[in-house]
Amino acid sequence: MKRLLPLFTAISLTALSGVTSAHEHDTVAAMADKIEPDVIKWRHHLHQNPELSNREFETAKYIEKYLRGLGLEVTTGVAITGVVAVLDSGKPGPTVALRADMDGLPVPEQNDLPYKSTATGMLDGNEVPVMHACGHDTHVAMLMGAAKILTEMKDELRGKVKFIFQPAEEGAPSGEKGGAEVMVAEGVLKNPDVDVIFGLHISSNTDVGTIRYRHGGIMAAVDPFKIVVKGKQAHGAYPWKSVDPITTSAQIIMALQTVVSREIKVIDDAAVVTIGSIHGGNRSNIIPNEVTMIGTIRTLNKAAREHMYEAIPRKVKGIADSMRAEAIVTLPLDYSYPITFNDHALMDQVLPTLVRTAGQKNVINSKAVTGAEDFSFFQQEVPGVYLWIGGKPLDVAEVDSPAHHTPEFYVDDSGMKLGVKVLTNLTIDYMKSAK
């Protein structure tokens, strides 16, 4: 991992954010107010025209046209549909990357909105409804807003800004690769070499006007797996003639839960192992010869993740052997995301910026979540910070706010202005802190 540029002490950083950048922060706030209607307009357009992972062709064209209109150097077709733009201040300094994801989900929207999505797309050969059910439309709009402000403040910057609009965060279609991992492999963090990267995620369960952050792991690593249990088929009336893969699978499912409850130090970080799909047999009176299970592992530190990789095959093999069955474990199955890990030193450095931007009471040290984000691939290469931005209306109770990835998912437009200011201020303050 690339080393951070030299940091000031916590005291001098606070002074830096509070004094050196006071003028810039005020300017950013005024400009964010001015362009908020545009940010909302962009978001509504994107929300009405969502596209699935690796199919964000029109979204990419929309972003590209806007960035070229700002006079930026633009590269398209990165990781299939990704768009990358560079703002060069013309002065020496660090390169700060800002990232937004672009893809929608195969979810039918049920919200009654003027900009409701009625779009469809093709997934695995089937036509499916498409919706921005995780807020990626807001992420793009916020980064477009930050790009406009930073471009207009170019004379006050030092170094370069790289704007990364990423496809396929939700996972590439079957048989394809995509997302941050592919962008990294294609050199998105090179030429110019990125020093730090920042990203935001809107939250439907967090109040508008607030930021949630965490040092270290903020979102879990995700590792899908498959288990195939092979036995011996027999008539259901004569089970002693079988090697039953269904009862074997049942014991495996229950035993896997003990990896977390009895082998992971859960007082340090949470971990999850879930079987989400199980298939075997086709009649009530036939014991099949094979059962297939698919599941997911979520971990928040490296030690827990490594333990899961060792423990799951061990548990599966032991139970299968005891039942006279054979079991084949594929781990990871098709994709794997590392832990979304906020660099401790960088998180310390940017906290004064967050406080100055949102106010002390609105910057919340949050618990980690067991959802996953492929922003983690960028953080494996350079120090990075990932934050949650509130999108829940203040008059809606958290218990009543809709979950991400559901047809009812909703975030308020008013939450985006803070995201625009945060992305912009993080960039300006980091540049000014760098020697």
For the chain, the average pLDDT equals 94
pLDDT at 262: 95
Helix or strand or coil: residue 235?
A: strand
For residue 147, what pLDDT band results from cuts at 50, 70 and 90?
Answer: very high
pLDDT at 14: 43
Beta-carbon contacts of 399 under 8 Å, excluding residues fewer than 6 positions away, are none
For residue 143, pLDDT over 60 is answered with yes
Run of H or E including 39: helix 22-48
pLDDT at 112: 96
Beta-carbon contacts of 155 under 8 Å, excluding residues fewer than 6 positions away, are 89
State how far the Cα of 149 lies from the Cα of 31, in Å rounded to an integer.
7
pLDDT at 224: 95
Q: Which residues pair with 341 in a beta bridge?
A: 217
Q: Which domains are delineated in the chain? A: 10-220+339-433 (3.40.630.10), 221-330 (3.30.70.360)
For residue 234, what pLDDT band results from cuts at 50, 70 and 90?
Answer: very high
For residue 279, pLDDT over 70 is answered with yes
For residue 3, what pLDDT band results from cuts at 50, 70 and 90?
Answer: very low
pLDDT at 23: 77
Q: Are strands 196-207 and 384-392 parallel, antiparallel or unpaired?
A: parallel
Catalytic residue list: 103, 169
Residue 333's CB: how many other CB atoms inside 10 A?
Answer: 15
Mean predicted confidence (pLDDT) in 209-231 = 97
Nearest to 134 by CA among 109, 153, 112, 164: 109
State how far the Cα of 84 lies from the Cα of 188, in Å rounded to an integer.
8
For residue 191, pLDDT over 90 is answered with yes
**Tokens linked to 283:** 């009649």
Q: Give 57-92 pLDDT, tens digit per residue.
A: 999 999 999 999 999 999 999 999 999 999 999 999
Give the rounded percent of residues in the chain with a pLDDT score beyond 70.
Answer: 95
Q: Determine the number of helices (DSSP H) and then strands (DSSP E) in the chain.
A: 10, 18
Left if phi > 0, otherwise alpha if psi is -120 to 50, otherwise beta: which for 4?
A: beta
**Tokens linked to 150:** 């930073």
Q: Give 153-170 pLDDT, tens digit per residue.
A: 999 999 999 999 999 999
State how far the Cα of 95 lies from the Cα of 84, in Å rounded to an integer.
13
Run of H or E including 312: helix 302-322
172 DSSP assignment: P
Torsion sign, CA atoms 33, 34, 35, 36: positive
State how far the Cα of 214 lies from the Cα of 237, in Å rounded to an integer.
56
pLDDT at 268: 82
Q: Give 107-135 pLDDT, tens digit per residue.
A: 999 999 999 999 999 998 999 999 999 99
Give the rounded percent of residues in the chain with a pLDDT score beyond 90.
Answer: 91
For residue 21, what pLDDT band results from cuts at 50, 70 and 90?
Answer: low
Bigger pLDDT: 415 vs 268: 415
